[in-house]
Amino acid sequence: MALIERLMKWEPESVWGPNISSHLFAATCYEVAFGPRTVAQIKAHWNMGPADAAEFDLMVAMVAGADAVKFRKIFEFEQVCMLGQARVPLYDTPALVRARLGLPNP
């Protein structure tokens, strides 16, 4: 899976595909959670391959419940990804970011 690497800007863009800003990613997650965009539209916009798409599907599944819960979860995604981009200790590897978000490590 490479979505977290793209969100962390882990490698040069040529390795995983274009890096994704955590702020823009959060904005697209809000669009999926509250409309008008679909998961498929967001996957196409970010040029997600099968590995990215699988990880995104897991994240989308976490955004459920009341609106306040959805807002909080997406905000958490954004904050964790920002800490990962900055390589803050305990967020400085893709494995640590995935663990913090509750995602499996490949």
Is residue 93 situated within a structural domain? yes
Is residue 36 situated within a structural domain? yes
Is residue 89 situated within a structural domain? yes
Is the pLDDT score of 2 beyond 90?
no
Range of the domain at 44: 3-11+18-101
For residues 83-89, average pLDDT: 95
pLDDT tens digits for range 42-55: 999 999 999 899 99
Beta carbons of 90 and 96 less than 8 angstroms apart = yes
- Tell me how far apart the alpha carbons of residues 14 and 44 are, in angstroms, rounded to a whole number: 18
Is residue 106 situated within a structural domain? no
Picking from 46, 39, 57, 41, the residue whose alpha carbon sits closest to that of residue 17 is 46
Is residue 62 situated within a structural domain? yes
Q: Copy the structure tokens of residue 39.
A: 């998961």
pLDDT tens digits for range 32-78: 999 899 999 999 999 999 989 999 999 999 999 999 999 999 999 99
Report the pLDDT value the prediction gives residue 16, as an integer from 0 to 100.
Answer: 65
The domain tally of the chain equals: 1
Is residue 38 situated within a structural domain? yes
